[in-house]
Chain A
Amino acid sequence: MGKWNLRNYVETIKLSVHFTRTYYLSLFLAIIGVFVITIVLFLFILLIGSIPISIFYGPFDEVFDVFDFIGDTMSEVNDVEAVGIVLFAGSALLAPFLIAIGALFGIGQEVFEGGTATAEEALLWYRQKFSRLASAGIVQFLIIIIPIGIEYIFATWYFGNQMPDTTTLTFLVFIAALWFLFSSGMLSMVFPSIVDGIPVFSSIKHSIKLTWKNSGAVFSIWSTFSSLGLLLLGPIIIQEFTDVILLTDQVYDLYILASALVILLLLLPVYVLSVSRTYLLISDPNIKEEQETHTEGSQ
């Protein structure tokens, strides 16, 4: 890939929006399909996880009480153990969602390589790449979250039971958020690599290598969509973590639902297509621009 420029960026976003509109029904059905399976899988993992816990600590009234149990346990254990619980429980519970997102990249590649999209294919990618997508998702989660966990352990060790002052707290949150955004961007090419047939650990290396060589391409796309996501989630974050009240209770609940739907049904497909195209462009350093004479029978 030559130098990533504004034209490539605009073209990628424009085409992704265009294809999202063209194949919206397929993409919509694919998203619904994979997320239905994901929720079933999530509940299954929750059920499986709650069985041994309920044997040792008494039965739960309902399966979701396992979250209360995890919360209570975390408040009782030391910081290192708490981070361990987050890593373990987070990996297990997030895996189904990560497979679902990963499977959508199969459709992304299909759109740009095949010029079409079918909802059924997402489910086939889900089945074909299940273990690789799950493993890659968990490894990504750990790479992103472990340094934040280490920061948390060091901060609690340093400050003890005292709450750090606002400046320090802001700094710590800023560092954690920066790492979260940077590492997520750096690993944004993992799922397209998995779909491309690269094994899990090679995909992680491949994504980092691609980002290193094409940081402009990867981060311009990543920062666009993470900014849009943050913009949508901004009012929720502000209301949840500060004393500022932006929306009344009723509007707030509606806003949460609306922003979740916008992210899932609009932002996610455009993001998947943008990342898929970027991957196809940057994964071949010798990519050529097609001449007019070649167009016949190509697409």
Chain B
Amino acid sequence: MNPANTSHRMKDLEVISDPNTIKVLFDKIRALIVFKYLVNQEMTVKQLADAIGKNPGNVLRHIERLKSVGLVQQVRTEKTTTGIVQRYYRATAREYRLGIADMIQANGAMRTYAKDRLRNMVLGLESYGVIIPETKMDDALVILEQLFERENQISSQLTIINAEFWNSLSTHQQEDASRLMREVMIMRDKEYLKLTEKWCTFVMSFMETNRGEN
């Protein structure tokens, strides 16, 4: 693994809320470039083209689009012994999440998608005996949206400072380190704790009600 340029720090989590960025990722090749390859390692256009089985020109144009929306960055340039100039690219973050709050603020299909996703999450709680009535569904969605938004905000502030060391870790180690560090950060945040308390009370109140009814 090649050492990364320390001037290009990688975020632990990036929240994607810009509809243009989401649109760019609708392309399967671009999604593959970012989520399969560039979140894990820095690669050249040639290496990506070989890995994906596409022609380098095609990959270069995809990289250019991904760069333009800030999902990919050029981390270093290397001149080979044959005089070829190789640019190494990497994702700007280790993990990407869709910004639920921004999506809900948006119009059209994106808003519907975000609302449906949150709603389905809440409905899924029924398997644990938590049945939230339709009249209280909006309240649940608002609290959950705030909670996710805050979690994303805190997690996206985490930066991988030692990229060289990070690259030397196994995927499991990377995931564990990321999870531990995120937990530390969110548990120190008063606003997040307040929202967690609110959500727990909300959920537990319906769990008790349901138990009482049963």
Contact = CB atoms under 8 A, between A and B. Distances in A.
Interface of A: 11, 14-15, 106-107, 109-110, 112-118, 120-121, 124-125, 128, 195-197, 277, 280-281, 283-284, 286-290, 292, 294-295, 297-299
Given A277-B85, A280-B85, A280-B87, A287 B57 contact: no
A281 B79 contact: yes
A120 B76 CA distance: 28
Contacts, number: 105
A290 B80 contact: yes
A125 B87 CA distance: 19
B55 A109 contact: no
A298 B83 contact: no
Given A120-B57, A287-B76, 11 more contacts: A113-B45, A115-B84, A116-B56, A121-B61, A124-B58, A280-B85, A281-B77, A284-B87, A287-B77, A298-B78, A299-B46
B16 to A, nearest CB: 18
Q: Which 9 A-B pairs have the closest CB atoms?
A: A114-B56, A121-B57, A284-B77, A280-B85, A110-B57, A287-B77, A113-B45, A290-B80, A197-B64
B170 interface: no
A287 to B, nearest CB: 4
Contacts of B47: 297-298
* B contacts with A: majority SS: mixed
Contact of B59 (A114, A117, A280, A289): A114
Nearest to B77: A284
Interface of B: 2, 5, 7, 44-47, 49, 55-61, 64-65, 67-68, 74, 76-87
Contacts of B45: 113-114
Contacts of A289: 78-79
* A contacts with B: majority SS: helix
13 contacts: A11-B83, A107-B57, A113-B86, A114-B45, A114-B49, A124-B61, A287-B79, A289-B78, A290-B79, A290-B80, A294-B2, A295-B81, A298-B86
A293 B116 CA distance: 52
B2 A112 contact: no
Contacts of A284: 74, 76-77, 87
B83 A15 contact: yes
B28 to A, nearest CB: 17
